[in-house]
Amino acid sequence: MSEFKYKFESILRIKNILEKKVLKEIAEINFEINKAEELKKNLIKKLKDLNETASKGKIKALEYKSVKAHCNLIEKEIEEAERKILDLMNKKKMKQEELKERTKERRILEKLKEKKYEEYIVESNRTELKQLDEIAINNFNRK
């Protein structure tokens, strides 16, 4: 009997590629999230340092006003970083749902492949047994 060939092998290969692509996209999103969180952490530290500087020593009113304006700017940057993190988290959640779906599709095709392979083995054994029976009958008839 011929070699086992799964008729949906190319589709299974594509499903694997798509699943790996989504995994890569999730990894990229995680990298972006880490970058945004690091930026936020640095901005918070910078804001804390500025506030300590402003409250520590005696500074002129103009300098104080300048420091407060800079603090407001940093607070806006922190809010922007938080929005970016939230957006990335939502994007990650969507990609995880997509990954779940892709994995499910791939598993279905793999289970079908296993089932078809088992059917192939049974059919192959049946054919081989039939051939052996014919050989045995022919040998018996020759005697």
- Domain ranges, residue 28: 9-108
Residue 89 lies in a domain: yes
How many domains does the chain fold into?
1
pLDDT tens for the 143 residues of the chain, in order: 678 899 999 999 999 999 999 999 999 999 999 999 999 999 999 999 888 877 777 777 777 788 888 899 999 999 999 999 999 999 999 999 999 999 999 999 999 999 999 999 999 999 999 998 888 888 888 76
Q: Please, is 84 exposed, middle or buried when counting C-beta atoms within 10 Å of its C-beta (0-12, 13-18, 19+)? A: middle
Q: How many whole angstroms from its chain centre is CA 86?
A: 18
Residue 119 lies in a domain: no
List, in order, residues 6 or more apart from 82 with CB less than 8 Å away: 40
Residue 133 lies in a domain: no
Residue 72 lies in a domain: yes
- Answer for the pair 28, 122: CB distance below 8 angstroms, yes or no: no
Statement: the pTM of the whole predicted model exceeds 0.75: yes
Residue 56 lies in a domain: yes
Neighbour count for residue 102 (Cβ, 10 Å): 20
